[in-house]
Amino acid sequence: MSAAPRGHAESGLLDPDEPPAFAIVNARGAGSAILVCDHASNRIPRRLSTLGLAPEQLADHIGWDPGAAEVAQRLSAELDAPLVQSGYSRLVIDCNRPLDNAASIAEQSAGIQVPGNLGLSARARAARVEALFRPYHEAIDRLLDARSDRPSLLLSIHSFTPVLHGEQRPWPVGVSHWRDRRFAALLSKPLARRVDGIVGDNQPYPIEEAVDYTVPVHGEGRGLHAVMIEIRNDGLRETAQIGAWAERLAAAYREIEAEAVSLGRWRVDI
């Protein structure tokens, strides 16, 4: 019998028969891209039941990024890129939030209270960190460590809701960067030619150190160029749409791949 995956035994949050905190697709992918999908799943650990939410709430964008994992998996095949995807809902713990951010374990999301996250003890919070957040990010670290002899460009794949707080969001896709915008600027141009509408420039979400974890830590933290790609989720409802987004992103990436690799290390002084 094999040992329980890391995160199961230590925290007591996951039962031994539950899926691990992350999955790696195409671990040996030899392309220059590395893909991550922080909000790939809306699964809740059995011990937390439904966090007090209805099934339709968990299925909506507050629980995960609908369609994002499928795009990331297809892109992984197109670009021969390794992909690390989270195994559990962002409502249990958000893998793209610093642990001291109030939305790390959100008490409300888009105006909906999350009963199972109210008044948590330090111990309950630590269990989520140990079972889910830490193993996911350690998996990304290990993957990047193993590739330190060759270029890696990090693409963090998300989807967003077309309407938030009553506001329509016009961009079919957005490319967000932190302080070094060169990789995002390169990728946005060929993407814009393939998209009907305006490519969001740091829209709908800019990357901020206090709010975002994955790009600042695994990108700048390692001197790697990194972007966050946000696809509006009304464009990801059908399998054909998902395939079309993966193809567009792959084609845009291939066009600028050599130039992006030649950028060298991430720089803050520009």
Chain positions contacting Zn ion, by CB under 5 A: 39, 65, 158
Minimum separation from the CB atom of position 115 to Zn ion (A): 22
> Residue 87 — φ and ψ, nearest 5°?
-100, -10
Minimum separation from the CB atom of position 39 to Zn ion (A): 4
**Distance between CA 157 and CA 150 in Å, rounded?**
22
Q: Which residues pair with 113 in a beta bridge?
A: 108
Minimum separation from the CB atom of position 6 to Zn ion (A): 24
Minimum separation from the CB atom of position 215 to Zn ion (A): 12
Token duo for residue 178: 């932190």
Residue nearest to Zn ion (CB): 158
Task: Give the nearer residue to Zn ion in terms of CB position, either 230 or 257.
Answer: 230
**Distance between CA 193 and CA 256 in Å, rounded?**
13
Q: What's the one-letter identity of residue 59? A: A
Query: Which residue do the tokens 């922080």 mark?
Result: 38
Chain CA centroid to CA 25, Å: 14
Task: Give the nearer residue to Zn ion in terms of CB position, either 39 or 225.
Answer: 39
Task: Give the nearer residue to Zn ion in terms of CB position, either 72 or 139.
Answer: 72
Task: Give the nearer residue to Zn ion in terms of CB position, either 103 or 185.
Answer: 103
**Sequence-ordered strand ranges (E) for the chain:** 22-25, 33-37, 83-86, 108-109, 112-113, 153-160, 163-164, 167-168, 173-176, 199-201, 226-232
Minimum separation from the CB atom of position 65 to Zn ion (A): 4
Task: Give the nearer residue to Zn ion in terms of CB position, either 65 or 130.
Answer: 65
